[in-house]
A and B are shown apart, each in its own frame.
Chain A
Amino acid sequence: MAETTRMVDVYVMGKHYAVPEGLTILTALEYCGYRMVRGCGCRAGFCGACATVYNFKNDPQLRFDLACQKTVEQDMYLTQIPFFPAAKTIYDLEELQANGDQVLKLYPDIIKCFGCNTCTKTCPQELEVMWYMSDALRGDIKEVANKSFDCVICGLCAARCPQGLVPYNVALLCRRLYGRYLAKPSKHLEERIKEIEAGKFDAELKGLKKASEKELRERYNKREIEPAL
């Protein structure tokens, strides 16, 4: 780090540290000397392990983000949120039906949502969590799947819900119902599986497996390539 780097004042669980400008919350904690065991996963915004809460020295309003993605700012108060278990209903997908009654049966508490919108305001992926919860209430499984698709299951919505709901598990159920029952099965996929099972490609593959490297190279270089578009 060049000596001219501007430093930013942050507070980790109340204690002051100066860290170089441009670090994320995660790398700032590491710069302060913390070695993560919990609260750190893919470090790239996909796994949801590093959900975090912060506020500012003169602004008590709590804010939410992923520690690996959010850049530190002057006078940030940082903390790692503790783990707590969230409600998940155990089910056998094969025995379910893809309708709203099913969702309500597995997660009956969703009727308790009173539309405070805290979940939406909390989501670091900026998903419309409250709206997909109302879609779930109406039984619109497809819309829940669509609106919740980019969910990284960081758990912040459930952590903040005053009614103790777990939106991300409701969404996961709806996506699984959609993928299993509502999305049309792919005919060409089924067809190909049948062909493979019937041994249609066995002779060709056997030939390729036996072919010399020279022969394979020649065939590879001459192979026809389908346009990308």
Chain B
Amino acid sequence: MYPADMEASVKKVEATREKRLKETLPRLQEAERQPLLEKYHPDYIKASMRELKVGPNKGDRTPLEIADILEGNSRIDPGKVDLSKADYDVDVLVIGCGGSGASAALLARENGAKVLIATKLRLGDANTVGAQAGTQAADRPQDSPAHHYMDTMGGGHFTNIPELVEALVKDAPSAIQWLEKLGVNWDKEPDGTMHELSGGGASRRRLHSARDYTGLEEMRVLRDEVRNRGINYLEFSPAIELIMDDRGQIAGAVLLNLETNELSIVRARAVIIATGGMGRLHIQNFPTTNHYGATADGLVLAYRVGAKLIFMDTMQYHPTGVAHPQQILGQLVTEKVRTLGAQLVNAEGEQFIMPLEPRDMVASAIIRECKERGKGITTPTGEQGVWLDSPMIDVLRGEGTVARELPAMVRQFGRYNINISKEPMLIYPTLHYQNGGIKIDASGATTVPGLFAAGEASGGVHGRNRLIGNSTLDLFVFGRRAGTAAANYVKSAKPGKPTLDRVRRWQAELEQAGLAKSRPITPLLLPNYARQPYDYLADYTKEMLSAGQVKPA
């Protein structure tokens, strides 16, 4: 049940449903796309970004929130950290353990490397578990890797790095099979045929799903396999600095125990950054679908040792974040709702965009509908949104489809007495994904020797806009590639003497640019949602708090 004033609009949605069932809006014409983005997409708000003043991407534009953390101060004083004794000595250190980190660790191990995983929260606490809709792979006879390539390039506005897209689409079917052999339960017909759905910007049905718990299913299995393989892992132990050697190669990392503030030193011949995205920076104050730890730590670590970033001026706003109820504001309503047939409808019960356009287009159209045309619906807490007409799904595909295909969504809305098989869902764009990241080649190698990256932390494969189902795919394809490449790299690596000179040089650079005092201490590690309305600390108390301390002043 919706509040009474919203219920009036629900009635209009119901009244137009029968007519809309026969109505298919045309796809956007080439000439309509760019103007729609430029006028309404949050990336095009000029004041929301600025140029970086230091580091490998000096002069490039990125959102203010990201610019601040990339230009951040180190938590450590290199003079006080002793690198002569290592707490861990491994071939490959994997930082982060979502889908890409787990894949990388498994493949590095399989290729003979001694592996350590360091992760900020628990093993597997990552955006991967929240991925609902599916994983793309062109494996049906009517499909081909070339179609997948074309869709991915078009979705990314033809800016994607071709070699990365080629790797993505060619490895996709074997990634699906790898997961199946590890015991992932794909949605299938009894004869083994994959049950595949369409997605925004995809020209073929190629989404492999596990109900609407796809990422959870993938992560449950990978995490269990990491345990079965006996790979060592440290939880609540984020990396706060990378260690280089005197030959300019990666030599390990400094980890922080989040609960005790103790540091540990990891010596590693190769490091794989698999730290995911940045949603918890709340770019432009957007709510986010991202998990608690999504604070772009990996970007900060890599940037500080000289790794080049790419496409850092483009964020993905998922078109359908929850706009009501307030308790789950900004959380993900899977695109699968649209792939199953639900239309997007304004307060008057009218469609305004073909629901399976790429995400940046749909998000822009929703913002236009609310901000310019005044046809959004306002919630009791003042949020705006439009309807996602989920009851259409059962009409189109048969009674019970919503319950069978979308159990997570049914459960989530059911808690607030909204029955999504009978009532529409109110949605608005929400901060979802970092389209760019650390620049990699097709093996996952960054521009720094010995440093690899995979998954959302890396950039290039999706260009300026990622398609549905290509992110979980990216995790497995590039996680596996980075794990393999790192294991092979260490076989011929000639380690030098570890130093923290890079941190010294970075701090000097910040001082020189006059930034040090005005920038935060990064990586951020965790957002701070604790309400602290009291400011009674004396200035000397604030200054006395140790630099690595997680708890804020």
Contacts and interface: CB of A to CB of B under 8 A. Distances in A.
Contact of B145 (A151, A201, A220): A201
B396 A229 contact: yes
B5 interface: no
B331 A22 contact: no
A108 to B, nearest CB: 18
A35 interface: yes
Interface stretch (A24-32, A109-117, A131-139, A156-164): A24-32
B480 interface: no
A196 B531 contact: no
The listed residue with most A CB atoms (<10 A of its CB), out of B144, B210, B532, is B144
A180 B437 CA distance: 34
B291 to A, nearest CB: 4
Interface stretch (B171-179, B311-319, B488-496): B171-179
Interface string A159-177: 0000000000000100111
A152 B552 contact: no
B114 interface: no
Interface residues of B, number: 97
Interface in A22-76: 22-24, 27, 30-38, 40-47, 49, 69-71
Given A41-B125, A201-B144, A216-B150, A226 B174 contact: no
A189 B417 CA distance: 41
A222 to B, nearest CB: 10
A44 B220 contact: no
Interface size class of A (residues with CB under 8 A): 35 or more
B203 A93 contact: no
A213 B158 contact: yes
Nearest to A38: B236
A49 B526 CA distance: 15
Contacts of A40: 121, 292
B184 interface: yes
B530 interface: yes
A205 interface: yes
A80 B447 CA distance: 43
Contacts of B48: none
B111 interface: no
A56 B240 CA distance: 41
Nearest to A47: B129
B412 interface: yes
A contact face: mostly helix, strand, loop, or mixed: loop
B162 interface: yes
Interface string A185-226: 111111111001000010011001100010011011101111
Given A34-B530, A226-B198, A183 B186 contact: yes
A38 to B, nearest CB: 7
B332 interface: yes
B551 A35 contact: yes
A45 B408 CA distance: 8
Contact of B162 (A145, A209, A224, A227): A209
B476 interface: no
A196 to B, nearest CB: 6
Interface stretch (B9-17, B135-143, B454-462): B135-143
12 contacts: A33-B530, A35-B551, A35-B552, A41-B121, A45-B411, A71-B415, A184-B192, A188-B140, A188-B194, A193-B174, A208-B149, A226-B198
Given A186-B193, A192-B138, A208-B149, 20 more contacts: A36-B292, A37-B526, A45-B331, A46-B215, A49-B121, A69-B328, A71-B415, A149-B211, A149-B407, A150-B411, A176-B182, A179-B182, A183-B185, A184-B188, A188-B141, A189-B194, A201-B146, A204-B144, A226-B205, A228-B198
Interface of B: 27, 30, 121-122, 124-125, 127, 129-130, 137-142, 144-147, 149-151, 153-154, 158, 162-163, 166, 169-170, 173-174, 176-177, 180-186, 188, 190-194, 197-198, 203-205, 210-211, 213, 215-217, 220-221, 224-225, 227-228, 230, 236, 258-259, 289, 291-293, 326-328, 331-332, 339, 341, 356, 396-397, 407-408, 411-412, 415-416, 526, 528-532, 550-552
The 5 closest A-B pairs by CB, nearest first: A176-B183, A184-B192, A35-B530, A228-B198, A220-B154
